[in-house]
């Protein structure tokens, strides 16, 4: 038992970090509240280092408690993504939190709690563990979405998110119960064994579709994307950033665990659904992003489309597809979080998130405009930035698995998406500023944005990360 807990050191440390941060808020010196954000980022980074130490031990996957949890390199990389998300979001929201939130310690604590839930999801070896992780992660996020108490929009976002999220959880449980009824177990390993012996039971097939639908909700794939624009728009902006990246990555971790692990052995019927989700997300997400005037809604729809790209990697159902998905999600964390942090700064200064607020940004704040430009170009998949490589590997995996049509849709959708990304670039660089106020920089958020941009530019040389992802994906299949 003690040895098994030892294996779960990163998870337990994350849980401790959540509690420590909440307690730290109690002993704060009055008027000095910003250090907690730095402290929480430091804790998150410390856990990342612990995780890095585990890498060598996980050359072979380790199964805990008879398979309830599975520790492997794939899960480890996902955990790194979640914790880096906590770190960047913590630093990025230091000023925002100090201005808007009353309970700062709890805010950072909830980030850690949700990361803990996501880590459970990424290591789940059992439908129930997965559910536990899903709920821990989601419940924290529901609270975070409604965290700006003064803003009615934020309350609305939290409400919508919890109602729709609870529905998704119910669907998941229903699907899981069908699977249990069909196979008699909730362990992935046993389900997979069962499938390879007796083929796909109809109950298993239907249950699998329900489970997939629940995670499609989590990653905001069409047609389960309806909540995203409203929640993204209403939630406090740094929370939106976290929601749109780490939480999305957790959804993908779960999909990889469930679909590519137990279900796919002997059955490829699931792929049709994944392909449909992917194609619809790319087309609908990009089309709906075109007419948006609010940048958070635009980024929400762009996020729907990005989920569609990442699903190409899942649909490829191969080593290559998995590693492409991990790479994509890793770079997407920094790209999209960076975008939302810029939105945080501009929104705090101007007071709204309309794209017109960005007019003449390059004159009001050249550095910020440049950062946003780089980020937008990366989202649009312009070489040599990280988003370009992310899409290249995904499409490449798609072509290799014969998904020509899907890749063609993806390439065309990317060209389309550049239109609305460039419209923001145009607002920043071409439109005159008129009498819009200058932008007040927030130092911590600026540091976080710089880190994001450095990663986006640095991944122009994707070799090292790709070789890590290759190892992770190789251990999984």
Residue 278: CB minimum distance to another protein, A = 18
Residue 456: CB minimum distance to another protein, A = 15
Residue 466: CB minimum distance to another protein, A = 6
Residue 477: CB minimum distance to another protein, A = 15
- Whichever of 257 and 362 has its CB closer to another protein, that residue is 362
**CA–CA–CA angle 309, 242, 174 (5° rounding):** 70
Residue 253 CB-half CA count within 13 A: 35
Sign of CA dihedral 122, 239, 285, 451: negative
Residue 373: CB minimum distance to another protein, A = 9
Residue 366: CB minimum distance to another protein, A = 8
Residue 298: CB minimum distance to another protein, A = 17
- Whichever of 31 and 463 has its CB closer to another protein, that residue is 463
- Whichever of 98 and 370 has its CB closer to another protein, that residue is 370
Residue 425: CB minimum distance to another protein, A = 7
- Whichever of 160 and 362 has its CB closer to another protein, that residue is 362
Residue 378: CB minimum distance to another protein, A = 12
- Whichever of 199 and 402 has its CB closer to another protein, that residue is 402
Q: Go through the chain and tell me how many residues it has.
A: 477
Q: Tell me the C-alpha distance between 447 and 239, whole Å.
A: 17
- Whichever of 223 and 438 has its CB closer to another protein, that residue is 438
- Residues near another protein, by CB under 8 A: 362, 377, 382-384, 388, 393, 395-396, 399-400, 407-408, 411-412, 414-415, 418-419, 422, 425-426, 429-430, 461-463, 466-467, 470
Residue 289: CB minimum distance to another protein, A = 16
- Whichever of 224 and 389 has its CB closer to another protein, that residue is 389
- Whichever of 23 and 408 has its CB closer to another protein, that residue is 408
- Whichever of 200 and 439 has its CB closer to another protein, that residue is 439
Q: Do 410 and 398 form a contact (C-beta atoms < 8 A)?
A: yes
Q: Tell me the C-alpha distance between 188 and 190, whole Å.
A: 6
Please give, one letter per residue, the 3-state secondary structure of the chain. Answer: CHHHHHHCHHHHHHHHHHHHHHHHHHCCCCCCCCHHHHHHHHHHHHHHHHHHHHHHHHCCCEEEHHHCEEECHHHHHHHHHHHHHHHHHHHHCHHHHHHHCCCHHHHHHHHHHHHHHHHHHHHECEHHHHHHHHHHHHHHHHHHHCCCCCCHHHHHHHHHHHHHHHHHHHHHHHHHHHHHHHHCCCEHHHHHHHHHHHCCCHHHHHHHHHHHHHHHHHCCCCCCCCHHHHHHHHCCHHHHHHHHHHHHHHHHHHHHHHHHHHHCCCCCHHHHHHHHHHHHHHHHHHHHHCCCCEHHHHHHHHHHHHHHHHHHHHHHCCHHHHHHHHHHHHHHHHHHHHHHHHHHHHHHHHCCCEHHHHCCHHHHCHHHHHHHHHHHHHHCCCCCCHHHHHHHHHHHHHHHCCCHHHHHHHHHHHHHHHHHHHHHHHHHHCCCCCCCCCCCCCHHHHHHHHHHHHHHHHCCCCHHHHHHHHHHHHHHC
Residue 364: CB minimum distance to another protein, A = 14
- Whichever of 73 and 79 has its CB closer to another protein, that residue is 73
- Whichever of 117 and 390 has its CB closer to another protein, that residue is 390
């Amino acid at each position: 038992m003690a040895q098994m807990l030892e294996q779960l050191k990163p998870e337990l440390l994350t849980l401790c970090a959540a509690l420590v941060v909440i307690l730290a808020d109690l002993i704060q010196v009055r008027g000095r509240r910003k250090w907690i954000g730095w402290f929480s980022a430091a804790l998150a980074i410390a856990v990342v280092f612990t995780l890095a130490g585990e890498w060598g031990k996980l050359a072979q996957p380790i199964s805990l408690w008879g398979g309830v949890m599975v520790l492997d390199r794939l899960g480890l990389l996902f955990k790194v993504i979640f914790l880096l998300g906590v770190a960047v979001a913590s630093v990025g929201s230091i000023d925002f939190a100090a201005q808007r939130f009353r309970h700062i310690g709890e805010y950072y604590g909830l980030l850690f709690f949700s990361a803990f839930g996501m880590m459970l999801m990424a290591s789940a070896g059992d439908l129930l563990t997965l559910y536990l992780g899903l709920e821990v992660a989601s419940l924290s996020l529901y609270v975070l979405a409604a965290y700006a108490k003064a803003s009615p929009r934020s309350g609305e976002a939290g409400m919508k998110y919890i109602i729709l999220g609870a529905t998704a959880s119910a669907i998941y449980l229903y699907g899981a119960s069908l699977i249990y009824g069909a196979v008699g177990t909730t362990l992935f390993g046993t389900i997979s064994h069962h499938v390879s012996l007796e083929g796909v039971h109809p109950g298993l097939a239907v249950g699998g579709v329900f489970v997939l639908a629940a995670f499609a909700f989590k990653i905001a794939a069409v047609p389960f994307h309806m909540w995203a624009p409203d929640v993204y728009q209403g939630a406090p902006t740094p929370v939106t950033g976290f929601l749109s990246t780490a939480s999305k990555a957790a959804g993908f971790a779960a999909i990889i665990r469930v679909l590519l692990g137990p279900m796919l052995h002997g059955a490829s019927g699931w792929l049709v659904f994944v392909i449909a989700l992917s194609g619809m997300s790319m087309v609908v997400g990009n089309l709906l992003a075109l007419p948006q005037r609010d940048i958070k809604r635009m980024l929400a729809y762009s996020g729907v489309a990005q989920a569609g790209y990442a699903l190409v990697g899942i649909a490829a159902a191969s080593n290559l597809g998995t590693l492409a998905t991990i790479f994509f999600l890793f770079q997407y964390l920094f790209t999209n979080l960076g975008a939302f942090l810029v939105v945080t700064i501009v929104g705090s200064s101007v007071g709204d998130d309309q794209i017109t607020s960005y007019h003449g940004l390059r004159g009001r704040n050249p550095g910020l405009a440049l950062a946003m430009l780089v980020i937008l170009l990366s989202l649009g998949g312009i070489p040599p930035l990280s988003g370009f490589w992310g899409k290249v590997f995904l499409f490449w995996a798609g072509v290799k698995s014969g998904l020509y049509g899907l890749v063609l849709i993806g390439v065309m959708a990317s060209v389309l998406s550049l239109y609305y990304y460039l419209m923001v670039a145009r607002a920043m660089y071409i439109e005159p500023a008129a009498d819009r106020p200058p932008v007040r920089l927030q130092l911590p958020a600026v540091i976080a944005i710089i880190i994001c941009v450095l990663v986006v530019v640095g991944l122009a040389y994707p070799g090292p990360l790709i070789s890590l992802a290759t190892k992770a994906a190789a251990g999984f299949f």
